[in-house]
């Protein structure tokens, strides 16, 4: 079997190692998730089951790969941040991109029932991914702020849009026209005056997305410190968030104590 005569084709595989000493971000996006959401009766403007499944799938990825520092998700996208000095797979781009992408995708199907119960998954979903490097802490923080600013803008729009459609009986195109050119303040006012809704009272998970970070917590029974992955909805656009958190970006072993509520995800880990 002339194996050796074909093996030269291996040399066509080129090295895709990425620059050392930079944060590696892998961002996944649901492909055709507008249709996927319709096909699976996602509630509008936000489906809490879908968000929790996204978070749990991301949690499944973080649990698997210790080199991942944190993850941040919103809507049908999730960003994973590898430690600056990550040397997993010698920093080969395709490897890092695909293990995150694959584990997330398989987890999404695996845990579907846990969050959607009897709502049947009709077909396997697809997530695309990209890999981006950030050389400085400032760039990385701005990346996370950028994604969270995006949630705010989209969620305020969607919340108002679907209030107009579902409660205001406008057609989607009428609602779109109504919102065209409006500012945040205008949308807040529409929600409040026309539907009696205070946008500030919307759940944090809708307004801010979800940040998964490695923290520690003291187990009340054993009094021992336990490492956990915490799901929080902190405001990353505020500077005091980063005053506390940024040390962890540089020295991932410095874990902050978790002070927030005991979420289902956290309870599972104790």
Q: How far is the CB of 132 from a copy of itself (least distance, A)?
A: 5
Q: Binding site annotation covers 29? A: yes
Q: Binding site annotation covers 33? A: yes
The helix or strand, by DSSP H or E, that contains position 211, with its residue range, turns out to be: strand 210-218
List Cα–Cα distances, 136 to 20, 96, 153, 236, in angstroms. 12, 20, 26, 17
Nearer to a copy of itself by Cβ, of 47 and 150: the residue is 150
Q: How far is the CB of 222 from a copy of itself (least distance, A)?
A: 27
Q: Binding site annotation covers 34? A: yes
Is-contact 110 103, C-beta < 8 A? Answer: no
Q: How far is the CB of 182 from a copy of itself (least distance, A)?
A: 14
Closest CA relative to residue 127, chosen from 149, 151, 109: 109
Residues found near a copy of itself in the complex (CB under 8 A) = 1-3, 5-15, 17-22, 28, 31, 60, 64, 93-95, 97-99, 101-111, 121, 123-136, 139, 142-143, 145-146, 149-150, 152-153, 184, 237
Closest CA relative to residue 211, chosen from 47, 31, 51: 51
The helix or strand, by DSSP H or E, that contains position 72, with its residue range, turns out to be: strand 68-74
Radius of gyration of the chain measured on its C-alpha atoms? 21
Q: How far is the CB of 171 from a copy of itself (least distance, A)?
A: 28
What residues form the annotated binding site for Mg(2+)? 29-30, 76
What residues form the annotated binding site for GTP? 29-34, 75-76
């Amino acid at each position: 079997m002339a194996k050796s005569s074909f093996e030269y084709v291996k040399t066509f595989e080129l090295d895709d190692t990425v620059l050392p000493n930079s944060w590696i971000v892998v961002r996944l996006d649901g492909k055709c998730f507008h249709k996927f959401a319709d096909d699976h009766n996602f509630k509008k403007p936000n489906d809490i089951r879908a968000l929790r499944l996204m978070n749990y799938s991301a949690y499944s990825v973080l649990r698997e790969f210790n080199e991942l520092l944190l993850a941040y998700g919103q809507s049908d996208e999730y960003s994973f941040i590898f430690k600056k000095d990550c040397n997993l797979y010698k920093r080969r781009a395709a490897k890092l991109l695909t293990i995150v992408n694959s584990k997330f995708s398989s987890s999404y199907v695996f845990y579907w029932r846990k969050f959607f119960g009897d709502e049947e998954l009709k077909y396997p979903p697809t997530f695309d991914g990209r890999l981006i490097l950030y050389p400085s802490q400032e760039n990385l923080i701005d990346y996370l702020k950028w994604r969270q600013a995006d949630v705010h803008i989209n969620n305020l729009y969607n919340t108002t849009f679907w209030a107009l459609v579902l409660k205001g009986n406008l057609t989607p195109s009428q609602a779109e026209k109504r919102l065209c050119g409006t500012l945040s303040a205008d949308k807040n006012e529409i929600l409040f005056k026309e539907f009696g809704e205070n946008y500030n009272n919307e759940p944090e998970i809708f307004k801010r997305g979800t940040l998964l970070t490695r923290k520690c917590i003291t187990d009340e029974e054993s009094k021992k410190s336990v490492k956990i992955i915490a799901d929080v909805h902190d405001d990353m656009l505020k500077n005091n968030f980063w005053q506390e958190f940024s040390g962890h970006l540089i020295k991932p072993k410095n874990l902050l104590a978790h002070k927030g509520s005991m979420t289902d995800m956290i309870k599972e880990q104790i």
